[in-house]
Structure 1
Amino acid sequence: MRLENKIGPLRQKLKTTGFTHSKPLDGQRVSDANKVKSVVFCEYLIASKDTLDDVIFSNECNNQLNQNKSCNYQPKESHVTVMANPKHPLKIYMWAAIGNRGASTIRLFEGFMDSEIYTNVILRDTGAIHRGNVW
């Protein structure tokens, strides 16, 4: 017997027992520590009067390698579950920048971008951390 044939009776049983199903909503997770670091960095840029002339565009994107779907079952009267998830689940990240001195190399990495990856893998390896170097 195929799985599709079993889904119908399951949904009917859930409906008769007063349950419904829904996908969890994603809520971007921003920690207090990251908020403080962002404010400190922005204050540094303002104090040093950095105009960011050497950065025209910097971006990252990600590719999901598989379809990870989840479904929650709850009573009809209850609220939809909101799960604290990072903005992008575990995926392959790609990062690149274009500046006055040309384009950076494209960097690929797994996991989540944190300060160590950004500083060591992206800024140092691409030379972006040293303003005098060409990317």
Structure 2
Amino acid sequence: MAERYSSFTPGGTTWLLQRITAAFLVVVLAFHFFLLHFVNHAADVTFASTQARMENVGYFLTMVLFLVAGTFHGVNGVYNALVNQGLKGTQKKVVLAVLTIASVALIAQGTYVALVMAGWT
């Protein structure tokens, strides 16, 4: 039987955060779909209604956490998949640096857009 290999250390911090963000994303994604596809139908969602939702502090924080959790979960998953495929040495460090910079940029831009939508800038 083939040996199982994973770059995640069971019980390690990234292993735990990957599972926590997965659970959080499932719950918030369900909330997102319920709110924007059943309560407010997609055709009824407007820029003004998005601004109104973002003005609610709870909704704003949920969406920013959704952004952070989704970014971490996706980037961490991609990075570990590449490590599992044999990424090592300098290439591993470069990929980690590029993914980290891209993640910070995505979170900064997404947070800025959320702040603008909430009217807080």
Give the structure-2-normalised TM-score.
0.31
Relative to its length, the structure with more helix (as a share) is 2
Relative to its length, the structure with more strand (as a share) is 1
Q: Highest Rg: 1 or 2?
A: 1
